Amino acid sequence: MVIHSVPPMNRCALVARSRIGTSERCGTARDHEADGAPAGCPPPWEHLAWALIILCFASGCTSLWNRSPRLAADQGALSRRLELPVRWSGRRPPSHQGNWRPDLMVLPYAEITGNQIHLHNIRDCVYRTEEDYDVRHFDRRLQLCDVQSLDFVVVPFKEAGALAHTMLSFGLVDGEQIVFSAEARLKHGESYALVPSATGQYELMWVVGTERDLIQLRTDVRDVDVYLYPLRITPEQVQKVFLAAVERVNEIAARPEHYDLFTNNCTTNIVDLIDRLQPGLIQRDIRVLLPGNSDRLAYELGLIAMDGPFEQIRAACKINYLAHLHAGDPDFSQQIRPWRQLPAVPRDAPSRSASGMAPPSPSLQENSSGG
């Protein structure tokens, strides 16, 4: 494997060909939603640990949760309630120094000048298999007003439906999408596992990338279900969330943080961004800590920009078939969004839920052909 080192301000693409041993396949930050249990997976006791933690949350531990990503007090209370040793004396401080996996090696960051944003190190990997891929990065300049829409991506774990990886995909005026994904940053030889994720053994990384990378990796390589939900949100609100996400990326680039299974993971980071836009919209809910049902929570809050029964919306928003069909298509992001072809609902039409976010949008009850 050959890796070309990239200085922090490098404007050129990074290209690396990587072959990673099969022992790294299970449970990584990139594939903790992956299928099966190949060699190197956590032992059976870890599945029991997951069950105990879920039971503990269901019995009332969720009252200890708070949305902010920096939760020293709440994290301590949570760890005492669950008896997790998250603050033992030997806990190492977070660091950006490490022998990182190739696709998690380069941190994104942004330069913000007024309404102009210069994004650096947008990831655009090309995967042939889980272990064989090219790592590529590029930079992009854009105006804040170029950001027009926002979609919520949910990737349930195959073996644990209550768990999922979640991401945000921002739509630009030219039809391109930029995905923001908070993940555990792994080193060579590390696998994502329960105890390390809850005890400060991983760093947090925000991956900023293309849908060709972050979505096709899951639909085509890992063969896991991916649900893509358009959110009921105005362009002005989208831009506020985007700016908050960019600032969060810069926070991580400037100062490393630990990934935390309970208080600093993919979904709690997303909730924190939404909370900056509309404080209190997303209340304490176990579906944030167990985000396999976070899409139903978004539906109940009126955040999903489609009307109709939830199961019908969920079926329409599963994009695996379209992602397979249009893999390699230069208009990939447009092709996996069939709801963009649905007729618009009049602005004065009644909305299913008053979220205060944006006016209603296409109704599946009127046109269900987008599945």
CA distances from 359 to 107, 161, 252, 316, 344 (A): 36, 31, 34, 20, 11
pLDDT, residue 88, reads: 44
In a domain, 358, yes or no: no
Would the pTM count as exceeding 0.85? no
Q: Give the neighbor-by-neighbor strand order of the sheet with 16-19.
A: 16-19, 132-135, 126-127
Kindly state the tokens that stand for 186.
């792994």
At 158 the three-state DSSP class reads: coil
Kindly state the tokens that stand for 12.
């050129």
- Domain with 337, as residue range(s), is 16-86+94-341
In a domain, 283, yes or no: yes
pLDDT, residue 33, reads: 55
Cβ pair 94, 256 in contact under 8 A: yes
Cβ pair 364, 316 in contact under 8 A: yes
In a domain, 195, yes or no: yes
In a domain, 366, yes or no: no
In a domain, 64, yes or no: yes
In a domain, 365, yes or no: no
In a domain, 223, yes or no: yes
In a domain, 8, yes or no: no
| Distance of alpha carbon 233 from alpha carbon 213, whole angstroms | 25
Q: Tens of pLDDT along the chain (371 residues)? A: 433 333 333 333 334 444 333 333 333 444 455 433 333 444 444 444 444 444 434 333 332 333 344 444 444 444 444 444 444 445 689 999 999 999 999 999 999 999 999 999 999 999 898 778 899 999 999 999 999 999 999 999 887 788 899 999 999 999 999 999 999 999 988 888 878 888 889 999 999 999 999 999 999 999 999 999 999 999 999 999 999 999 999 999 999 999 998 889 998 999 898 888 778 777 777 777 778 889 999 999 999 999 999 999 999 999 999 999 999 888 999 999 977 655 444 333 334 444 455 544 443 333 322 32
Number of separate domains in the chain? 1
